[in-house]
Structure 1
């Protein structure tokens, strides 16, 4: 069983090491908390690693120490789904930076409060930048917000990783309250219409023209998006269109049993009811291009899991 609030980092000579990554909104941390991180890492022979999501990871930990570490940090374990809002990256903005055009900290903290760990069809990352220098990498975030002299510009569909995609400009010159509202519209539309795919893959599948028209119509009307899903969600008898983004396409179709050779992206598209089973095993591979294109046997090995045990759980629900 995976320790609560921890990720398996490495299996070496049969020994497993884990990491925890407490949430730090905006990457801000008080000096006394930072000292506590250092003391705990030293005490439990861990290593501190600054992450690209503006957090501090404590890695190299033993499973039996995880609960004690969370207790000593005085924090609840950082729990969440694999497919959720993973991070809201925030630049210093006009509060701390001479080039900042807008208050990215205020807006970013509000978005963090509203969306961090909120469940999504796939993983999602936000970026909030106070100017066009885009220090929070707006153009490679699922939802990016960039400050200008006249307000905020909204970008959608960016991603880095194995299959990088630059974001598309959705709308320019919004005020603070309008940003909060349009992000709600974007997220709602994505939740209701996307399959297990990143925002950019979803946009490429339905077309940016339609995505933009639907989102802006809902935004200007001031109502939530309520259209039916744009594609069948793994309907019986359907030959499913491969997920965009270069994932490996397997041969699994509805009615087939899942085997060790079945590709994870196929399994979760043909049998979406298997998603909770993957989660129960602590597999953070849903929506991750480097993992969903793998055969189940390979993914199980990486996670140090018994593939036969996973197979039994998966085939039980189909």
Structure 2
């Protein structure tokens, strides 16, 4: 079991080290809080690392020290669902930058307040950039906002990882309230209809036209004439066409046993009943870019799991092939 509020980082010669990443909205931190980070890191032999999500990770920690680290930081463990809104990256905007067009800090902190750690079909990242320079990398975030002279342009579907995708522009020139409102519609639509997939993968599956039509119909108070997006169900003998960066990259068929070479995203598409099994083994982030093309044997090694034990548990919920 993982220590509370920690992530497994490395396994060297059988020894495991962990990291904690306290939440820092917008990356803002007071000097006295920074001093706590320094003192705790020194005491427990940790290393401080600035992350791409504007947080400070303390890594190289022992499992038995995790509770004490959180206690001495004076913070609650940064808990959340593995598939949730992970971060809202914010640029300085008009508050601190001479090139700022819009108040990115105000919008970003409000998005952080509304969505951070909220459960989603997959991991989600947001970015708020106060001008088209996009210093918060909004164009490669699942949901991004970019400030212009006329308001906020909203982008959806961006991601990095092994199959990077630039976000699509959904709507432009919105004021603060309308930007929040359309983002809320996007998040609810995604929660309701998506599978274990990033927003960009969801858009690619149902089509950009349908996604945009449905979201903007609600935004403008109209009724969409299109039907609800459906997740295709596997039938016995049906083969799924591999899609790089999509819902599956392997060729598992309904009724097949799960093997060491079975791709994780393939497994959860064909056998969604395996999701709680994976999570019970500490493999919660099933929508991350790595799992798209990662076989069970590699994932087990990375997480320090017993491969035969994991395969046995997974195959217990697989229907017998007739």
TM-score, scaled to structure 1: 0.93
Q: What residue in structure 1 maps to residue 163 of structure 2?
A: 163
Q: What residue in structure 1 maps to residue 133 of structure 2?
A: 133
C-alpha contact (below 8 Å) 1:188/1:225 kept by paired residues: no
Counterpart CA distance in 2 for 1:165 and 1:225 is 28
| Structure 2 unpaired stretches of 5+ | none
Structure 2 SS opposite 1:221: coil
| Structure 1 unpaired stretches of 5+ | none
Q: What residue in structure 1 maps to residue 147 of structure 2?
A: 147
C-alpha contact (below 8 Å) 2:123/2:285 kept by paired residues: no
Q: What residue in structure 2 maps to residue 177 of structure 1?
A: 177
Counterpart CA distance in 1 for 2:189 and 2:280 is 27
Matches within 5 A, 1:1-318: 1-221=1-221, 228-234=228-234, 238-245=238-245, 249-318=249-318
Greater shift in the superposed pair: 107-116 or 282-291: 282-291
Greater shift in the superposed pair: 227-236 or 109-118: 227-236
Residue 25 of structure 1: how far off its partner (Å): 0.6
Counterpart CA distance in 1 for 2:147 and 2:117 is 24
RMSD across aligned C-alpha pairs, in angstroms?
A: 2.1
1:75-99 CA-partner distances (Å, limit 9, x unpaired)? 1111222221111001111111121
Residue 143 of structure 1: how far off its partner (Å): 0.5
CA gap of 1:246–1:188, structure 2 versus 1, over 3 A, is closer
User: For this pair of structures, how many residues does the alignment match?
Assistant: 318
